[in-house]
Structure 1
C-alpha cells in the first residue's frame, strides 16, 4: 500500500535566493489578490538587510513579491513548530524562506502532467505561523520598502 506522502517524492524544493527571507517575528504577511495576480508583503529578515539594503536606521524593511498569472493560492498550517510535518519537509522545505517546488505533485495532480509546460509553477513561502502556497507563472520581487505602510500601498496598487 502506498502512502499519500509517496506522491511528494518527485517534488524538488529549490530555495529562491533572489527573494528575501521573512523575519522570524514577522507580523502576519499581507496579501492582495485579484483574479490573475497575487501580491504578498512581509517584513524581511535582518540577515538579508545587507544583501537587499542599504536601509536607514529607522527603517523596518518589507518586501513586496508578485505572483503573476496566479491559478491558486492559500495560507495554512503549518507554522514553524509543525513545519517538520509538512509533506515537503523531507525534500528540504525550510522555515522563513521562499521556495519553488520543481516537478510539483500539486501542479501535476491539479492541472495534469503537462501543466508545468503550460507555465504553472508552484511556490511556497514559510512564515512563523503559517505556510503560503501559490501556483503561478512567475514570482518576482517588486521592491523592498522602508516600512509596511509603503509596502502595503504598493501591493494594493499592483492589484487595481
Structure 2
C-alpha cells in the first residue's frame, strides 16, 4: 500500500526573486547548485535596477551540495506556471524549498531498478526528494542529504570554486 506524497517546507538560503541565476554542475556522484541569495541591497533606492550576470562579482551566492545524489531535473515550471506542477495542490510555491515525503519519483526509480539482478529496495531507502523553486526554473533532486553555504563573489566563479574543492 502506498502513502500519498506530502510536502515539508525546508530551510535553505532564499533565492533572489529577481534573477537568482541558478547554475547546476553534476557528475555521477555530486550535484552542485549555485544561485544568487536574497540579500537586501542597502544601496538600492528602488529606481534604476541594476542588471547582474553570472560573472557579476561581490554577490551573495548560495552553494547547494548533494553528495551522493541519485537524480536531478532542472527546468520548468517557472514562478508564473508553478500552479501547473503536480505538487502545487500540496503546497508547492515559488521561491521556496521542500522535501517531498513518500516520493512517487523515488518509487518509480526503485521500480525501474527491479530488473537488476542485485536489486534490493533498501538501495533506495535512504534517499530523499527535494524541490527548490526559482524565478525562471525549478530544481528537483534525489539525494541522501545536502548542505548549503553562502559565499561572496560571482555565481559562476563560486560554482567553479566549489566544484574544484570536491576533487
TM range (shorter): 0.7 to 0.9
Structure 1 counterpart of 2:153, from 147, 156, 160: 147
Alignment gaps of 5+ in structure 1: 1-6, 48-57
Q: Which residue of 1 aligns with 2:83?
A: 84
1:156 aligns with 2:163: yes
How far the C-alpha of 1:158 sits from its partner, in A, is 4.1
CA distance in 1, matches of 2:125, 2:135: 32
Question: Number of paired residues?
Answer: 141
Aligned mate of 1:134, from 141, 148, 155: 141
Larger of the two Rg values belongs to structure: 2
Structure 1: how far apart are the matches of 2:74 and 2:68? 18
Alignment-derived partner of residue 13 in structure 1: 7
Q: Residues 109-128 of structure 1: matches in 2 within 5 Å? A: 109-112=108-111, 114=121, 118-128=125-135
Rounded to whole Å, the distance in 1 between the matches of 2:72 and 2:140 is 5
Tell whether 2:1 aligns with 1:22. no
- How far has the Cα of 1:146 moved from its partner? 1.2
Which whole-Å CA distance do the structure 2 matches of 1:64 and 1:11 have between them? 27
Deviation of 1:148 (Å): 2.2
Alpha-carbon RMSD across the aligned residues, in angstroms, is: 2.4
More helix by share: 1
- Separation (CA, whole Å) in 1 of partners of 2:131 and 2:138: 7
Contact 1:41–1:64 (CA<8 Å) still a contact in 2?
yes
Q: Deviations over 1:47-89 (max 9, x none)?
A: 6xxxxxxxxxx94201101112111111121001100110011
CA distance in 1, matches of 2:87, 2:61: 26
**Counterpart residue number, 1:100:** 99
SS in 1 for 2:59: coil
